[in-house]
Amino acid sequence: MITCVRGTRDILPDEIHLWHLVERESAAIFDRYGFEELRLPIFEVTELFARGIGDTTDIVEKEMYTFTDRNDQSLTLRPEGTASLVRAYIQHQLYKDGGTRKLYYAGPMFRYERPQKGRYRQFYQIGAEVLGPDSPGVEAEVIDMLMLLMDRLGIGDTRLWINSIGCPACRPAFLAVLQEREQAAAGRLCADCVRRIAANPLRVLDCKNPDCQDTINSLPSILDYLCAPCRSHHERLKKHLGLLGIAYHENPRMVRGLDYYVKTTFEITSGALGAQNSLLGGGRYDGLVEQLGGPPTHGFGFALGLDRFVLALPEAVRAGSRPVPDVHLAPLGETAQELAQVVAARLRRAGFAVSQDFQDRSLKSHLRHANRLGVPRVVIIGDAEAEAGQAALKSLITGDQILVPLTELEAVLRQQPAEKE
């Protein structure tokens, strides 16, 4: 038997309706805030991610799925969406009209890392980016949008974590002190951290190894080294969050895993997820568009993990999100089966979701099947009813049953209550 590759999975019908729910609610909320969707290729030239993400990040060094095509061009399955979106923004000159562009994307990403609960080698993200203004008000608006999305989906027990990682003007002084302290503590850090000290000392703060945490917590805080503009930006963000009534927690160790971030970084976690509790994260990346060949442009965005979001949905939402047919057709006999197919087609064109199967079932079996589906009404057609042009309409909510001419079936169905059980 051939099975799916380790770190990938099939999303089966019993679960896919939850994914549809998150996708629908996300699109609806993003639309309220003025975001437009764009769809991006699954693979890009490798240089895009090496330049955009940073060649000393774990993603570029260890996690990318890279291959050479028949023209000896190095291509990579996208490990994240921001670099691809920025590439599209530049390539199609989405900046030419000036002003702000709000864009979002959704789809699979690929990283070769150890699979764990809610994290796969092929995983799915929804992300959104604001390109244009350099304002902490934009950041607060995006975070407010995410809070509304989680509220709509019933995701509770969440925490917003914020930080500032400075800018090219103030970060070098911090990095010099940080690197010196990390070198002194190298004996208490893991091999990955030791390797990062020389190449990218900020990345040490992003280590998830439990054995490193006490040492990392003893390192200097970047908040003590911010220049005046970065400090002002951070304070203004906190003011905007306060105006919107959004609670937050500062975490000076939170740097995210990508090199393009400056100033604000943020993350939202959920207590419903256990140890691997991150729902989404993002931040500001003011130099990325220019770095990839575009005009100087400020940027701010996030990506949420669909796998994690689905895991965080409360049971009440999960139970209530499964699609349920409006009516089940129960034909009894060969003539009735043929007529039922015509009736089903007519009802579907009228907007009803119809359950119908072509097994030779008894009425009792049809009713059991309808109950399992949670269908509120059953249309029963026997050969005698078919000949008379009628059907028995049975409500599984009240238990009542009436005879209805097939020509009036649609109108009667619209009048009857259709609450799902």
Edge-to-edge strand ranges of the sheet holding 43-45:
43-45, 74-77, 66-68
Nearest to 338 by CA among 385, 371, 377, 373: 385
Nearest to 217 by CA among 259, 251, 268, 194: 251
pLDDT of amino acid 61: 64
CB atoms < 10 A from the CB of 34, how many?
12
Residues 6+ apart with CB under 8 A from 204: 178, 182, 189, 193, 196, 197, 212, 216, 219
Give CA–CA dist 189/212, Å, rounded: 5
CA end-to-end span of the chain, whole Å?
Answer: 39
Query: Looking at the whole model, is its pTM more than 0.95?
Result: no
**Is CATH 3.30.930.10 what the domain over 13-170+226-318 is classified as, yes or no?**
yes
pLDDT of amino acid 421: 43
Contact indicator for 380, 337 with CB cutoff of 8 Å: no
Contact indicator for 310, 120 with CB cutoff of 8 Å: no
Please state whether beta strands 249-250 and 158-164 pair in parallel, antiparallel, or not at all (unpaired): parallel
Contact indicator for 74, 66 with CB cutoff of 8 Å: yes
The residues spanned by each domain of the chain are 13-170+226-318, 325-415
Cα-Cα-Cα-Cα dihedral sign, residues 199, 204, 205, 208: positive
Nearest to 191 by CA among 65, 62, 281, 80: 62
pLDDT of amino acid 58: 58
Cα-Cα-Cα-Cα dihedral sign, residues 135, 264, 300, 313: negative
Q: Is 204 helix (H, G, I), strand (E, B) or coil?
A: helix
At the second CATH level, the architecture of 325-415 is 3-Layer(aba) Sandwich (3.40)
pLDDT of amino acid 122: 94
One pLDDT digit (tens) per residue for the chain, 421 residues? 999 999 999 999 989 999 999 999 999 999 999 999 999 999 999 999 887 666 555 566 668 899 999 999 999 999 999 999 999 999 999 999 888 999 999 999 999 888 777 678 999 999 999 999 889 999 999 999 999 999 999 998 999 999 999 998 998 899 899 998 989 888 898 988 888 888 888 888 888 888 898 898 899 999 999 999 999 999 999 999 999 999 999 998 888 656 678 999 999 999 877 767 889 999 999 989 999 999 999 999 999 999 989 999 999 898 878 889 999 999 998 889 999 999 999 999 999 999 998 888 899 999 999 999 999 999 999 988 888 999 999 999 889 999 999 999 999 999 876 654 4
Give CA–CA dist 85/88, Å, rounded: 5
Give CA–CA dist 85/39, Å, rounded: 9
Q: Is 277 helix (H, G, I), strand (E, B) or coil?
A: coil
DSSP letter for 116, please: B
